[in-house]
Amino acid sequence: MTKKLDFKRTYKPKYTGKVGRWDDLVIPSMPYAMVDGQGDPGGPDFGKAIAALYSVAYGVKFKCKAAEQDFTVPPLEALWMADDPTAFVRNDRAAWVWTAMIRLPKHVLPDMLEQVRETALGKLAKKKDPPTDADTLGRVYHGRLEEGRCLQTLHVGPYTNEAATLAHLHDELMPGQGLTFNGPHHEIYLSDARRVAPEKLKTILRQPVVPK
């Protein structure tokens, strides 16, 4: 039996950080299951997107397990964008555009994800109170994320308290190092918000950067 892949152990630096310290690291190209949307992450659309992603991710996992290529489904991640980057500092959630995503093993190709998604759509129609809908599930796609050089830290506490940390990054740290944005704000949710108190939530904050 082959050893189960656990991203958090195999690629530990990408899932760790220290509060108050921004690490400078290079992130390689990685495949994901993704779904795009817009608006408040506390709203129903983001919740449906998460449910759709996990439905597909676990379908892929079971298919890989049958082929002796099992893996632990990694934490939920999301990219956050806005026409005005200060929307994050101002916590203007209506202006946020997002991509919710779950990392996939390198051997998982688009055709496998499409097969799993179609199977999940068939099962969805038979459920009485599904956590997502066919439209959202149908929007899940296989994509790659190319980030390169990034600054990364660990945030502990409610998501709404990230603004001060991001303001320090945007207004002081990046200008002080002669850096500018090279992609959307990236978060990795190490804690399950349904089971962990807000003050104990652990989130990796990552920002792709390039020299000005």
Residue 9 placed within a domain: no
Task: Give residue-wise pLDDT tens across range 57-91.
Answer: 999 999 999 999 999 999 999 999 987 767 776 77
Residue 52 burial (CB count, 10 A): 28
Boundaries of domain holding 94:
31-145
Question: Which of 40, 35, 77 has its CA nearest to residue 56?
Answer: 35
Residue 173 placed within a domain: yes
| CA 147 – CA 27 distance, rounded (Å) | 6
User: What is the band of 190 on the pLDDT scale with cuts at 50, 70, 90?
Assistant: very high
On whether both 77 and 163 belong to a single domain, the answer is no
| CA 146 – CA 138 distance, rounded (Å) | 24
Residue 23 placed within a domain: yes
What integer is the mean pLDDT of 164-191? 95
On whether both 40 and 128 belong to a single domain, the answer is yes
Number of domains composing the chain: 2
